[in-house]
Amino acid sequence: MPIVLLGLSHHSAPLDVREKLTFPADALEEALGRLTSRDTLREGLILSTCNRTELLGHTGSSGARDGEDAMREFLAAERGFPLGELDRYCYRMADREAVHHLFRVTASLDSMVLGEVQILKQVKAAHQAALRARSIGAVLDPLLRKALGVAKRVRTETGIARHPTSISYAAVSLARTIFEDLSGRKIILIGAGKMGELAARHLLERGIASIYVANRSFPRAVELARTFDGEAVHFDRILEVLEKVDIAISSTASPQPILRYEDVVRPIRARQNRPIVLIDRAVPRDVGRRVNTIDNVYLYDLDDLAGVVAAGRAEREAEARHAEEIVRREAEAFHTWARTLDLSPVIADVRRRLDRVRVDELERYRSRLAGLTPDQRKAVEELTGSLLNKLLHHPIRALKGAVQGSDVPDRIRFFREIFGIHDAAGGSEPDIRDPAAGRQEESDDSDNA
């Protein structure tokens, strides 16, 4: 029952690669349908944020390597990225390592900002998208639910989320490297998202004089501007406002840059050499890279912000060690549980096989039992069923004990040989697109065993 993961993040790939491999939120469900239409993947999930794109899959009876290759080919084809180039930036994980990684990511232990809360919301959104697309079931659905639960436990039991050095705070720090005194400065927020709002609050605390808010949805711009006693501007007036402000923070969901060199150069020159700080938080980026070549323009992107964030990480390392131990134990417990799912089909096959023998033998002795009353016949049925459960109790316990070791496939093969069950005989794995199927199979083989 391999769980496989293929991904890249700020640890493994630069921003100009990450932005080419993101999945827009409104295209996620269709992409999940294409991902799980591949024969090797029975379940699939896509987590796509500004700092990472990760594909998680369950391969059923296929091997982990086949599942990883399928996800690799899918990612390259979907984003139009060369396969050979993709291999330079992607990491692959399977089973225990993949589970542990997912738990670390969800608990924000792998984030650019240690302890940030945004990733928890992003994993939850990816989970909900996969549920709507029906691309996850009896394996990945409980895995995602467990990951979210572990992240909440980490936030409750450790201090990792207390006063994190956020990306928004880092944006303020970079602005102060250009303008030592921020009082009296003017700012424009391009995009009315949460992270831009947080950055604006930090800047206002340091004396920013006025704030403009531009958003494609003008009513949303009006709403956010009102909270800051600022001014909402229409999206097509951004270049006009750039002539007035000292700091611009952009974070939109545009697939293409909204501020290109040829657009920006005129309003910047109209500023008469006054410096301007452009902070681009978007992935894909909102500001074309050539803009940084214009005199007195200081352009920073997410990778620049990461350096500022890293400086504040040390003070949270002690809490992170506690969190890592929680994640390690929870990941190991889930891995052990997940391996028991491999046992469900063989246990169900053996029960079916032996119960068929029991019924056949009762039928063979029907003439000898003809004199029994209905109650007596029912007692014989119950007695033979109980004997079957008693005889299977210890073999099934021994088989379930195998999940702690590395020889599970050998144990399953031996168990089938003992009871004369071939892989092709009996039942098949439950339909894992139905979360209830796996739970039912588990309850069936837990009685008296």
Instruction: Please give the C-alpha separations between residue 147 and each of 101, 318, 326, in angstroms, as whole numbers.
Output: 10, 22, 12
List, in order, residues 6 or more apart from 33 with CB less than 8 Å away.
133, 135
DSSP state of 316: G
What pLDDT score does 449 carry?
32
Question: What are φ and ψ of residue 262, in 5° steps?
Answer: -65, -25
- What global pTM score does this model have? 0.63
Helix axes 408-418, 343-364, angle to 10 degrees: 10
User: Measured between alpha carbons, how far is 83 from 73 in angstroms, rounded to an integer?
Assistant: 7
Task: Return the amino acid letter for 293.
Answer: T
What pLDDT score does 182 carry?
84
List, in order, residues 6 or more apart from 112 with CB less than 8 Å away.
10, 51, 167, 302, 305, 306, 309
Fold that domain 3-163 belongs to in CATH:
Beta Polymerase; domain 2 (3.30.460)
Residues linked to residue 277 through DSSP beta bridges, in sequence order: 247, 298
Say if residues 341 and 442 touch (Cβ distance below 8 Å). Answer: yes
Say if residues 127 and 425 touch (Cβ distance below 8 Å). Answer: no
* Length of the chain as a residue count: 449
Q: Which residues are catalytic?
A: 50
Which among 240, 237, 250, 312 has a CA at the least distance from the CA of 277? Answer: 250
List, in order, residues 6 or more apart from 110 with CB less than 8 Å away.
9, 11, 101, 104
User: Measured between alpha carbons, how far is 110 from 11 in angstroms, rounded to an integer?
Assistant: 9
SS3 322: helix
Domain boundaries in the chain?
Answer: 3-163, 167-311, 341-444
User: Measured between alpha carbons, how far is 170 from 305 in angstroms, rounded to an integer?
Assistant: 6
Helices (H), 278-418: 302-311, 317-340, 343-364, 374-401, 408-418
User: Measured between alpha carbons, how far is 409 from 95 in angstroms, rounded to an integer?
Assistant: 14
Q: Distance between alpha carbon 97 and the CA centroid of its chain, in Å?
A: 14
Instruction: Please give the C-alpha separations between residue 299 and each of 188, 215, 249, 279, 437, in angstroms, as whole numbers.
Output: 14, 20, 10, 6, 53
Work out whether strand 186-190 and strand 247-250 pair parallel, antiparallel, or are unpaired: parallel
List, in order, residues 6 or more apart from 337 with CB less than 8 Å away.
none
What pLDDT score does 162 carry?
64
Q: What is the pLDDT along the chain (449 residues), one digit of tens a residue?
A: 589 999 999 999 999 999 999 999 989 999 999 999 988 899 999 999 989 999 999 987 667 888 899 999 999 999 999 998 999 999 999 988 999 999 999 999 998 877 787 899 999 999 999 999 999 998 999 999 999 999 999 988 988 776 555 666 677 778 877 887 888 899 999 988 777 777 777 788 778 888 999 999 999 999 989 988 899 999 999 999 999 999 999 988 888 999 999 988 888 888 877 899 999 988 889 999 999 999 889 999 888 887 776 665 665 677 888 899 999 999 988 887 777 766 777 788 888 888 888 888 888 888 888 888 889 888 988 898 899 888 888 887 777 766 665 566 677 777 778 787 765 433 434 333 343 333 333 333 333 33
DSSP state of 237: G
Domain 167-311 sits in CATH at 3.40.50.720
DSSP state of 272: T
What pLDDT score does 412 carry?
75
User: Measured between alpha carbons, how far is 265 from 299 in angstroms, rounded to an integer?
Assistant: 13
What pLDDT score does 441 carry?
35
Indicate the Cα dihedral angle 333, 339, 340, 341, nearest 10°. 120
Instruction: Please give the C-alpha separations between residue 102 and each of 67, 96, 106, 370, 440, in angstroms, as whole numbers.
Output: 17, 10, 6, 61, 26
Which among 42, 53, 46 has a CA at the least distance from the CA of 3? Answer: 42
